[in-house]
Amino acid sequence: MDGRLCAGDGRVAENPKADYGTGGSLTDARYMLSVTFNAPREAFDDVSEPFLRGASVDDMLLPVHLSARFVGLSALPTFAAFDVEKNPEVEADLTRFDHHLGIVFGTPASLAAGAV
């Protein structure tokens, strides 16, 4: 840990049991995850679904979020495309992604389209 990503794990000798994971150096930076799932959208956030049992998209991505948080990054809203194998909706997903970029980065959809 040379300080470019983090200056230690955030704990101090005076209190070695507290503040683990708060030593990140990238506190002025943000990240956004864009992911695809074979699962349909309806499989998430529903406690009656037997596999995910109410887990959200970001619950499924917790290890990735924690790794980013460890180095000080702040999360932007995640984008997800669902049911990409059995029921792909590529054009609709690209339109939603365009919209997502516009909301997250405050740009008109026409500018966000160029970023894809």
Q: What are the residue ranges spanned by the domains of the chain?
A: 30-115
pLDDT at 46 over 70: yes
Tens-digit pLDDT profile for residues 54-66: 999 999 999 999 9
Q: What percent of the chain has pLDDT over 70?
A: 91
Pairing of strands 74-75, 79-81: unpaired
Arithmetic mean of pLDDT over the chain? 93
Name the superfamily (CATH) of residues 30-115. Answer: Flavodoxin domain (3.40.50.360)
**Confidence (pTM):** 0.85
- 60 closest CA partner among 88, 86, 39, 29: 39
Query: Is 71 within 8 Å of 59 (Cβ atoms)?
Result: no
Average pLDDT for 63-72:
98
